[in-house]
Amino acid sequence: MRGVPLSSVSHAAVTEWVTRLSASGLAGSTVRQCHRVLSLILALAVRDKRLSSNPAEGVKLPRAVKSDKQFLSADQVAQLADEAGKTLKTGSDVKQAQQRRLIVLTLAYTGLRFGELAALRVRRVDLMRRRLEVAESVTEVNGLAVFGTPKTHQRRSVPVPRFLVDDLATLLAGKGPEDLVFTAPHGGVLRLMGFRRRVFDRATKLAGLPGLTPHELRHTAASLAIRSGANVKDVQRMLGHASAAMTLDVYAGLFEDGLDDVADRMDGLARAAADSLRTGGQVVPLRSVTA
């Protein structure tokens, strides 16, 4: 949609653009990401009263093909974080090395999206309550950092494990309320591609996890939470999913399904009925029911 005046961007135009992207052979997930970036830009235009409404809202998007998710164990997370925290060259800044390690641990134990972590400000960190308030996300558009609301447009409170508190406190020392918690090496907004190029991809290879993406640390956070006993509502709230049904759709295989217990209880009913017949007792017939 390059060169199109803002006033000419209509719902139909965005729909046609999405259709062209899909027809060009781009993956559904890539098309959805392109649409999200455009929607964020148009949302800013609405906020500045340049548009009365966001024409990107309600556009039918292609399905993203689900790929196999990779869930790391706590040991693998620790190894990856250590590799990310190693200095890349002699004399590298120790504080930056500590931040790189903390980025991996925070993503893997809170389930933040990378854009949410990069947009996190000091005033939204409550170490006494061990909570992070997720209210913003940042996306890179043509080299510019565009801030907007999180993916679901809803704020949420995310719990912080105790073992991260001291490291976060050290990172926050000397920063003001509006400062970003995590920053690029020379200050400014932390960019996903820059972080992957400088730190993450190298660390995954050294940790024996080639091909791992930062987003899979979000899946890992869900997995670790479920393994620790969290129920579906807890995981939904932590990740900021729109509904528990969405959480189950994404992570159903990680939850105990309880079907064995159901089968055992039904087995008990059948055995009780059989015993009643053998002893001459009265068996109450099942009433027919409609679905």
Q: Tens of pLDDT along 6-46? A: 878 899 999 999 998 888 877 788 889 899 999 998 999 89
Highest mean pLDDT among 56-60, 100-104, 218-222: 100-104
Longest pairwise C-alpha distance within the chain: 87
Residue 282 has a CB neighbour count (10 Å cut-off) of 7
Q: What residues contact 28, with CB distance under 8 A and at least 6 apart?
A: 22, 61, 62, 63, 64, 65
pTM above 0.85, yes or no: no
Domain spanning 1-65: which CATH class is it, in words?
Answer: mainly alpha
Burial class (CB within 10 angstroms; exposed 0-12, middle 13-18, buried 19+) of 33: middle
Write the DSSP string, 111-138: ---HHHHHT-BGGGEETTTTEEEE--EE
Domain spanning 74-251: which CATH class is it, in words?
Answer: mainly alpha
Q: Would you kindly state where each structural domain of the chain is located, as residue ranges?
A: 1-65, 74-251
180 with 121: CB under 8 angstroms? yes
Distances (CA, A) of 90 to 97, 202, 289: 12, 16, 75
Mean pLDDT of the chain: 86
Above 90 in pLDDT, residue 93? no
Per-residue pLDDT band at 291 (split at 50, 70, 90):
very low
Per-residue pLDDT band at 1 (split at 50, 70, 90):
low
Above 90 in pLDDT, residue 133? yes
Per-residue pLDDT band at 273 (split at 50, 70, 90):
confident
Burial class (CB within 10 angstroms; exposed 0-12, middle 13-18, buried 19+) of 101: buried
Residue 291 has a CB neighbour count (10 Å cut-off) of 2
Q: In sequence order, what E strands does the chain have?
A: 125-126, 131-134, 137-141, 144-148, 156-159
Interhelix angle for 28-47 vs 11-23, to 10°?
A: 160
Above 80 in pLDDT, residue 73? yes
Between these two residues, 246 and 233, which has the higher pLDDT value?
233
Above 50 in pLDDT, residue 290? no
Residue with the two structure tokens 């209509």:
10
Look at residue 289 in the predicted model and tell me its pLDDT.
45
Look at residue 266 in the predicted model and tell me its pLDDT.
86
